[in-house]
Amino acid sequence: MMRGVQVSLLIAIFAIVLPALGPVAAQDEQCELSRNLRREIQRYQPVVDSIFERIVSGEFAGKTYESLLDFTDRFGPRITGSKQLEDAIDYAVQEMINDGLENVHTEDALVPHWERGREWAQLVEPFRKNLPMLGLGRAVGTPAEGLMAEVIAVESFEEFESFTPEQVQGKIVVFAPAWVGYGPTGRYRHESASVAARKGAVAVLVRSMTPFSIGTPHTGTLRYDPDVRRIPAAAITVEDAMLLLRKFRRGDRMVVHLKMDAVNLEPTISRNTIGELQGTTFRNTSVVVVSGHMDSWDVGTGAADDAGGVLISWKAVAFLKAMGLRPRRTIRAIGWTAEEQGLEGVSVYERQHAADEKEEFNVFFESDSGTFEPTGLDFSGNQAARCIFVEISKLMRGFEQFTYTDGVVGSDIGNWVGRGFPGVSLRNKNENYFWYHHTEGDTIELEDPKALDKSTALWAATAYVIADLSIDIPKDIVSYGSEE
């Protein structure tokens, strides 16, 4: 996921959308649901209990983990543009069919194709030290022999302002911002290359986006401003970033040798992967989408980011089907492509479905912040939607009250949610999520079978109730074009 971009994007969008959403009241405000609707929701308690029982301790227990293990072991990392991502999509299509999902198909999306290639960085003066690194997605490479340059190190963009172009010209700039959170600190990964290039830097090295490290670099995308030179950019470890910052501040002259074979190739066709449990009453309207993203970075095996989100979505649908629970509306599981490359897969899908989106979609679910022990759901929507979510949340025994998040839900679904569609994200005990995020450590080792069962059950039960209610979840939508 890349919530950093998303948050700032959403804040911008939200400012526009706010008037259309109506009054945003405090979460504990009294809801005036009709007695009939409240009773209707309450009547789902037995089916919700049964869904939980069968997924968490019945015949489906352990199945989500089993499939996640199989999926990540079989295809490994699934970066956009790789054969293994497309192989994984082919496999998912086949397995969704085997699981009884309906209308299983893919929808093409033209997406970026970046390849890392061989890469390394080394401090060569005043002493030699390998600098474990990961080039940032979309970054350009260095010349074949690498580039060798003196280092400037700063903690912030503000500090960098004090440097003149003469001082920066020809240098490698190290940005070592303190970890505040993925949103605010993420700016440095996204923006450092262009900020430094404006003053003539030849490359940037950015402190990895994490509160904790064991010499672990974290990759992720950057954004090049269109009007400045594109320079190579990589993440280095927290430890090395702080070392270089301290040394620079005490006046040590440092030289780094950086080698990156990264290339941006022609955009390529990838696919969003779709399978459904079709509704008894509505088929292609008022759809409840449950989703995660199929692609990952090219490090680790993308188990937490985001095979887990894909699997709980796909298995929620599969298990409902196997239980013979067919709601009035279609529940559509989607595995987005190219999320890590800047939400590229969903963007294509969104445009392709824009014409009738108000009719086609009811609620969007997305899980892309881990599938650890779930604690509840985050949700977003207008006041009327919120009252329904609150009532539904009471059916989910053992979870905290669901949390209202003011339009900031999900990564892939963020644009819809920002424009007023109801949205739901999985809340889970992901306090250490960023330790592993975009690293070689994002693997099946992080995942727990029981936590996955609970996540799938919560996902399935909530989606089922929403898809089966007598009414759609209310929404006030800003049309697709209006935020441009």
Question: Applying CB under 8 A, which residues contact its own copies?
Answer: 69, 73, 75-77, 82-84, 87, 118, 120, 123, 127-130, 132, 212-216, 237-240, 242-243, 246-247, 250, 298-301, 435-436, 439-445
For its own copies, the closer of residues 225 and 445 by Cβ is: 445
Rounded to whole angstroms, how far apart are CA atoms 275 and 314? 7
Q: What does the DSSP 8-state code read for residue 209? A: S
Question: Does the annotation mark 102 as catalytic?
Answer: no
Q: Is 23 exposed, middle or buried (0-12, 13-18, 19+ CB in 10 A)?
A: exposed
The least distance separating its own copies from the CB of residue 169, rounded to whole angstroms, comes to 27
Q: Residue with structure tokens 């001082």?
A: 167
Q: Is 128 exposed, middle or buried (0-12, 13-18, 19+ CB in 10 A)?
A: exposed
For its own copies, the closer of residues 70 and 360 by Cβ is: 70
Sheet containing 102-115: order of strands: 102-115, 263-277, 331-336, 287-293, 361-366, 423-428, 374-380, 403-404
Q: What does the DSSP 8-state code read for residue 445? A: G
The least distance separating its own copies from the CB of residue 138, rounded to whole angstroms, comes to 18
For its own copies, the closer of residues 440 and 468 by Cβ is: 440
The least distance separating its own copies from the CB of residue 262, rounded to whole angstroms, comes to 13
Q: Helix H segments across 303-381?
A: 308-322, 344-352, 357-360
Rounded to whole angstroms, how far apart are CA atoms 114 and 84? 14
The tokens for 22 are 């109506």
Q: Among candidates 136, 141, 113, which has minimal Cα distance to 261?
A: 141
The least distance separating its own copies from the CB of residue 414, rounded to whole angstroms, comes to 27
Q: Among candidates 472, 445, 447, which has minimal Cα distance to 374?
A: 447
For its own copies, the closer of residues 238 and 463 by Cβ is: 238
* Active-site hit among 86, 119, 276, 339: 339
For its own copies, the closer of residues 154 and 244 by Cβ is: 244
For its own copies, the closer of residues 128 and 397 by Cβ is: 128
Q: What does the DSSP 8-state code read for residue 476? A: -
Sequence-distant (≥ 6) Cβ neighbours of residue 288 within 8 angstroms: 327, 329, 330, 331, 332, 362, 363, 365, 463, 466, 467
Residues catalogued as catalytic: 339
